[in-house]
Amino acid sequence: MKAMILAAGRGERMRPLTDAAPKPLLRVNDKPLIQYHLESLAAAGIVEVVINLAWLGAQISNYLGDGSSYGLKITYTEEPAGALETGGGIFQALPLLGDEPFLIVNGDVFCEFDYRLRMLDADSLGHLVMVPNPAHHPAGDFSLADGQVTASGEHTLTYSGISILHPELFAACEPGRFPLAPLLNNAIDRGRLTGELFSGLWTDVGTPERLTKLDTLLRYA
């Protein structure tokens, strides 16, 4: 299975830290966020990784190179200023990701999720890793019912930014800037989106305060 790390975003809520560095290169416990993902992917046996770039993207490609130092083969996609949003960025990368399901990882989250090979159900268009709602997102995104992601339910959960997606999810898309959420909602409506709950360490590193909190946690764990 191939993987894609989403690393093109501007990181507005992280300013001023992201004025001079892309968010995936911000450090926690003296290591860039994106490096944790690469090490976990390599440990899981995933070799081919695509990374999309926009804001200060050259810093990322210069730092990571071809991925060989991590036991990986990294390929980069370039996006225009302002990036293509999650959906558009993945769609542009599909020729590199191939015809089989692929793993998606948001570059601005920290997660101890085990990336070892998971398979989609035969009729599934995607599989979302869900987490308990954090304090900054109490309403959540979706619900889970017997392994199926639903639009609503008694208890909501938050999409972690980690998923396995099938290229067919993007069958009706055109090149350009568009979000992923409408595609996921369409798959939910068709009963073709599965999910699981992950209760381990996960952080959406979306603000300087959360970055500092995670850094402290990892340093003194």
- The predicted pLDDT at position 82 comes to 84
- The predicted pLDDT at position 220 comes to 75
pLDDT along the chain (221 residues), means of 10: 92 79 90 94 95 93 95 95 92 96 94 85 93 90 93 89 96 94 95 95 90 86 66
Kindly state the tokens that stand for 3.
Answer: 């993987």
- The predicted pLDDT at position 10 comes to 78
Helix (H) or strand (E) holding 162: strand 158-165
Question: Could you tell me how far CA 59 lies from the centroid of its own chain?
Answer: 19
- The predicted pLDDT at position 94 comes to 97
Phi/psi of residue 141, nearest 5 degrees = -120, -50
The whole-model pTM stands at 0.94
Q: How far is CA 65 from CA 40, 74, 75, 205, in A?
A: 17, 8, 9, 24
Distance CA 94, CA 20 (A): 30
Distance CA 178, CA 187 (A): 16
CB atoms near residue 173 (< 10 Å): 15
Exposure of 13 in the CB half-sphere (CA atoms within 13 A): 9
Distance CA 114, CA 35 (A): 15
Question: Could you tell me how far CA 57 lies from the centroid of its own chain?
Answer: 17
Return the DSSP state at 9.
-
- The predicted pLDDT at position 121 comes to 85
- The predicted pLDDT at position 221 comes to 66
Contacts of 153 (CB under 8 A, 6+ apart): 142, 143, 144, 145
**Nearest by Cα to 126 from 104, 145, 108:** 104
72 and 1 in contact (C-beta within 8 Å)? no
Domains of the chain: 3-219 (3.90.550.10)
Residue type at 200?
Answer: G
Kindly state the tokens that stand for 174.
Answer: 């055109």
Kindly state the tokens that stand for 36.
Answer: 């944790």
Exposure of 128 in the CB half-sphere (CA atoms within 13 A): 26
